Amino acid sequence: MQKDYELIKKYQNGDQKSFEIIVKRHLSNTIGFFFTITNDRMVAEDLAQDVFFKLYKNLKKFRFDASFTTFLYRVNLNTANSWLTRNKWKNILHLDQSFDKGERDTNIEDEWKRKELWDSVAKLPKKQRIVVIMRIAQGLPYKEIALMTGMSQGTAKVNYHHALNKLKKWLKHD
């Protein structure tokens, strides 16, 4: 199996098929990442389209300073962050709607809880939000989060714990 950097080199030399292989290789993870945040398959696919469209345009200038996976995480993160910010007001309005406790459908209840959680994540300050997205949706270790965000591992940990405390407080009150 060809490695990512080999495929990127080929793509940079004009081989479009290599790009298709890269897309197919990382598609499932990317959609999964966005599905975790949006809980909407269609939206997740649209955001994944955005990511790969950005890659299509920028991969020709990729200089191999970092690994491709880190680069992809970074693009994913920026796209997710933009989406969360765009939908912040919409999310706030949705939080105002009260959930009918009378309903006993566990699926709906789970879905509502998930939505409530991620809507609350959207309300976090930017740094804390980034760390939470990377840690939860992408499952990255602090070391890699620190590398990608430019903050120290300690700062990443502190931001993460502050974020969790805030979420706990908000969701308790709600």
Partner 1 sequence: MIDIEKQLLDTRKSDVKNINEDEFLYKLEMRVRHSKDNRRTVIYSFMMLIVLSILTISQYDNPVMLDSTNYIDEMENIFETDLWNIDINSLDYDSLYLYDMAYILLEEGYLWEAYELISVSKSQKRNI
Give the binding site for partner 1 (CB under 8 A).
20, 23-24, 27-29, 31-33, 35-36, 39, 41, 44-45, 48-49, 52-53, 56, 113-114, 117-118, 121, 132, 136-137, 139, 164, 167-168, 171
Alpha-carbon radius of gyration of the chain = 18
Q: Are 34 and 42 in contact (CB under 8 A)?
A: no
Nearest CA to 140 among 83, 70, 79?
70
Closest distance between partner 1 and the C-beta of residue 128, in Å?
13
64 or 168, CB closer to partner 1? Answer: 168
Closest distance between partner 1 and the C-beta of residue 11, in Å?
13
33 or 71, CB closer to partner 1? Answer: 33
49 or 85, CB closer to partner 1? Answer: 49
**Residue 167 token pair:** 């979420």
Q: Are 147 and 70 in contact (CB under 8 A)?
A: yes
User: First vs last Cα of the chain: how many Å apart?
Assistant: 50
5 or 53, CB closer to partner 1? Answer: 53
Integer Cα distance of 98 and 174 in angstroms: 10
Closest distance between partner 1 and the C-beta of residue 4, in Å?
17
